[in-house]
C-alpha cells in the first residue's frame, strides 16, 4: 500500500515536473544583455532581455506594428499649442518584488518623474549610478525637448515641452522610457546598493526577473498580478547561444523553441524542414547610397537620377543579402505608417541612364564610393555591394573608385560637406516614427551631420517640419507621403534595400509576431501541448 502511495506521489510529481517544463518557453538569444536597466544601454539584445519582458512604458508599441497604444498611461491629451502633454496614469498597477524588496504601494506619478529625472537631472542621486551616460535619452534630444515634468496628482503627470513635437508619444514607448519603481530605487540607495536597479530589476511588466548567469541563461517567471493580458507561459528562459548554426541545432533538437537571427544561408533549408516554422518581415531599416548633392555634377538631380537607374538592385539583393533583403524605393521601410506605396522606383535601365547622362553633358565621370567596414542588417557586406555598383556604373561610362575607412573615421569623415564621393550607409529606426528617418537623415538641420547627402530641399523640409508639430497621425501621414514624392524626384540617395528579418521556431510555438521595431517579445506567446 505504502509503495503504491509512494509510486503515485512520484508519478504525480513527475507529471508536475513535466508540465512545469512544458510551460517554459525557451528562447535561444544571440548574446548577453549589457545589463537590465534599459535606459543605460542601446543594444537590442539588452532591450529583449529587459524592457520587453520586465518593464512597461507610458505608451507602448502595439506588438507587430509601429503604432502607439496606451501603456501605463491610460490616455493622454496634447494642449492646443502642442507644448503640454498630460498623461493620465493607470491605477492599481503592481511592481514586482524580490528577496530585497516588496513594494508597499502601486505605481504612481512619482515613478514616472523618477524614471526621467534620473536621466536628465545631475542632482538626482541616480544620475551617476552604474556610470550612466543615458545615451538614448540624449540622442533623442530629450534634455532640450523636456522643459519640466510636473506631478498634478498621484495619477496625472504633465510634460512641458520647449517646442511642439508630435513624435514624443512614440518616444515615450521607447526602451529608455521604461518606468522604474522609485520606491525600489530609494530602498536600494538607502541600502548602499543602487546598482541593484540594473542587476536585479523590478518593473511592472508581464514577466518578473528571476536569475541571470552571464553568457549562459536568463530566467523569468510570469507576473501573475500583471495589469494587462497575462503572459501565456509560466516561465520564460533565454538560453544565450552566440553561434547561429548552433542555435538552429538547438531548435531542431528541441533545446529551444524560438531562435533569433538565423544565418541567411540556412533560411531555405529551414523553410524546407517539416518541423520548423520560419516567419519573416522587413526590418525597420534602410540601406542607401548618399550622393554629395553639394558637389558638381551630383548637385544636378538628373545626374543622380540617371545613376540610380544604372544600379541593378535585384543583383545586390541576390548577392549581398542572399535573399534576406527587399528592394527599397522609399527612404522609410514599408512597415512604417505613411509609407507611400504609390511611388514608382527608378527602373534599372543602363541604356536610358547613359542617354540621360549624355543629355546633361556629363562624360568621363569619376565617382568614389565609400564602403562601410562593418556588417549591418541593412548592409551585410558593403564592400561587395560597392563592387557590384562599380560594375553597374562602368556600364554607363562612370569610373568608380572604392574607398573605406575604419568605422569611427568613416562615420566622422562622411559628414563633411565637401566630401568627395557617395557614401554607403543606412539607418535602423528607433521609435517607428517617420520623423526619425526623414528629419534625422534628410532634414536641412542635419546637413553636415547625419544628412550624408548634404541635401537641403526647402519644399521637403517645410513638409517634415510641419508634420512634426501636428498631433493627428492622419494629417502627418499625408505630409510625409508628399515628402517621399519630392525625395524620389530629387534622388539625393539611391535607396538600396530593407533587410528582411527571419524568426525560426518550433511548430508548437503559438502567437509569435515579428515586431517591426526589431525586438523579440514573448508576452503573447504560448506553447501547444
Chain residues in the site for other proteins (CB under 8 A): 17, 21, 24, 26, 31, 34-35, 40, 42, 130-133, 135, 138-139, 195, 198-199, 211, 213-217, 219, 237, 239-243, 245-246, 249-250, 252-253, 255, 406-409, 411-412, 415, 425-428, 449-450
Report, in Å, the least distance between residue 233 CB and other proteins: 13
Contact 518, 433 (CB under 8 A): no
Can you list the pairs that 357-364 forms with residues at least 24 positions away whose Cβ atoms lie under 8 Å?
A: 357/303, 357/306, 357/307, 357/396, 357/397, 357/398, 359/302, 360/297, 360/300, 360/302, 360/303, 360/306, 362/297, 362/303, 363/397, 364/397, 364/399
Nearer to other proteins, 88 or 138 (CB): 138
Nearer to other proteins, 113 or 424 (CB): 424
Report, in Å, the least distance between residue 470 CB and other proteins: 25
Nearer to other proteins, 249 or 473 (CB): 249
Per DSSP, the chain holds a count of helices (H) and strands (E) of: 19, 20
Report, in Å, the least distance between residue 28 CB and other proteins: 9
Report, in Å, the least distance between residue 83 CB and other proteins: 24
Q: How many Å apart are CA 326 and CA 520, to the nearest integer?
A: 21
Nearer to other proteins, 92 or 408 (CB): 408
Torsion of CA 137, 142, 148, 152, to 10 degrees: -70
Nearer to other proteins, 98 or 249 (CB): 249
Report, in Å, the least distance between residue 217 CB and other proteins: 7
Nearer to other proteins, 71 or 194 (CB): 194
Nearer to other proteins, 31 or 71 (CB): 31
Report, in Å, the least distance between residue 129 CB and other proteins: 9
* Residue of 311, 316, 337 lying closest to 326 (CA atoms): 316
The radius of gyration computed from the CA coordinates of the chain, to the nearest angstrom, equals 25
Torsion of CA 182, 185, 189, 191, to 10 degrees: 110
Nearer to other proteins, 303 or 422 (CB): 422
Report, in Å, the least distance between residue 256 CB and other proteins: 9
Report the relative pairing of strands 277-282 and 422-428 from DSSP bridges. Answer: unpaired
Q: How many Å apart are CA 508 and CA 75, to the nearest integer?
A: 36
Report, in Å, the least distance between residue 18 CB and other proteins: 10
The overall longest dimension of the chain from CA atoms, in Å, is 101
Amino acid at each position: 500500500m505504502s509503495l503504491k502511495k509512494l509510486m503515485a506521489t512520484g508519478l504525480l510529481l513527475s507529471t508536475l515536473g513535466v508540465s512545469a517544463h512544458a510551460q517554459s518557453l525557451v528562447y535561444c538569444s544571440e548574446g548577453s544583455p549589457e545589463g537590465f536597466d534599459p535606459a543605460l544601454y542601446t543594444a537590442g539584445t539588452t532591450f529583449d532581455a529587459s524592457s520587453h519582458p520586465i518593464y512597461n512604458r507610458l505608451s507602448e508599441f502595439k506588438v507587430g506594428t509601429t503604432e502607439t497604444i496606451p501603456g501605463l498611461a491610460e490616455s493622454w491629451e496634447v494642449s492646443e499649442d502642442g507644448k503640454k502633454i498630460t498623461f493620465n496614469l493607470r491605477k492599481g498597477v503592481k511592481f514586482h518584488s524580490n528577496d530585497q524588496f516588496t513594494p508597499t504601494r502601486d505605481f504612481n506619478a512619482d515613478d514616472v518623474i523618477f524614471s526621467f529625472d534620473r536621466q536628465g537631472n545631475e542632482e538626482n542621486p541616480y544620475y551617476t549610478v552604474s556610470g550612466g551616460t543615458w545615451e538614448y535619452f540624449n540622442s533623442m534630444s530629450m534634455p532640450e525637448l523636456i522643459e519640466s515634468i510636473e506631478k498634478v496628482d498621484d495619477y496625472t503627470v504633465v510634460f512641458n515641452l520647449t517646442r511642439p513635437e508630435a513624435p514624443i508619444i512614440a518616444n515615450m514607448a521607447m526602451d529608455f522610457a521604461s518606468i522604474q519603481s522609485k520606491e525600489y530605487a530609494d530602498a536600494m540607495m538607502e541600502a548602499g546598493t543602487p546598482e541593484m536597479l540594473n542587476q536585479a530589476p523590478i518593473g511592472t511588466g508581464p514577466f518578473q526577473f528571476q536569475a541571470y548567469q552571464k553568457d549562459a541563461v536568463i530566467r523569468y517567471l510570469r507576473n501573475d498580478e500583471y495589469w494587462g493580458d497575462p503572459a501565456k507561459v509560466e516561465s520564460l528562459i533565454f538560453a544565450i547561444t552566440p553561434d547561429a548554426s548552433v542555435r538552429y541545432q538547438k531548435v531542431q533538437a528541441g533545446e529551444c523553441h524560438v531562435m533569433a537571427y538565423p544565418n541567411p544561408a540556412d533560411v531555405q533549408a529551414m523553410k524546407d524542414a517539416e518541423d520548423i516554422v520560419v516567419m519573416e518581415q522587413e526590418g525597420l531599416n534602410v540601406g542607401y547610397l548618399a550622393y554629395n548633392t553639394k558637389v558638381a555634377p551630383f548637385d544636378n538631380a538628373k545626374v543622380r537620377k540617371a545613376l540610380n537607374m544604372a544600379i541593378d538592385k535585384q543583383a545586390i539583393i541576390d548577392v549581398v543579402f542572399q535573399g534576406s533583403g527587399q528592394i527599397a524605393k522609399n527612404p522609410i521601410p514599408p512597415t512604417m505608417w505613411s509609407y507611400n506605396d504609390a511611388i514608382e522606383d527608378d527602373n534599372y535601365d543602363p541604356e536610358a541612364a547613359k542617354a540621360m547622362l549624355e543629355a546633361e553633358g556629363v562624360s568621363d565621370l569619376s565617382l568614389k564610393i565609400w564602403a562601410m567596414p562593418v556588417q549591418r542588417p541593412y548592409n551585410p557586406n558593403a564592400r561587395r555591394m560597392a563592387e557590384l555598383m562599380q560594375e553597374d556604373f562602368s556600364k554607363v561610362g562612370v569610373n568608380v573608385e572604392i574607398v573605406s575607412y575604419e568605422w569611427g573615421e568613416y562615420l566622422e569623415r562622411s559628414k563633411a560637406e565637401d566630401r568627395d564621393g557617395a557614401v554607403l550607409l543606412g539607418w535602423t529606426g528607433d521609435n517607428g516614427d517617420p520623423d526619425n528617418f526623414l528629419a534625422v537623415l534628410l532634414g536641412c538641420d542635419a546637413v553636415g551631420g547625419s544628412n550624408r547627402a548634404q541635401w537641403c530641399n526647402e519644399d521637403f523640409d517645410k513638409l517634415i517640419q510641419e508634420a512634426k508639430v501636428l498631433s493627428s497621425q492622419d494629417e502627418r501621414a499625408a505630409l510625409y507621403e508628399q515628402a517621399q514624392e519630392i525625395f524620389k524626384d530629387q534622388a539625393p540617395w539611391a535607396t538600396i534595400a530593407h533587410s528582411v528579418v527571419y524568426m525560426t521556431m518550433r511548430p508548437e510555438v503559438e502567437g509569435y509576431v515579428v515586431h517591426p521595431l526589431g525586438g523579440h517579445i514573448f508576452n503573447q506567446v504560448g506553447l501547444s501541448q
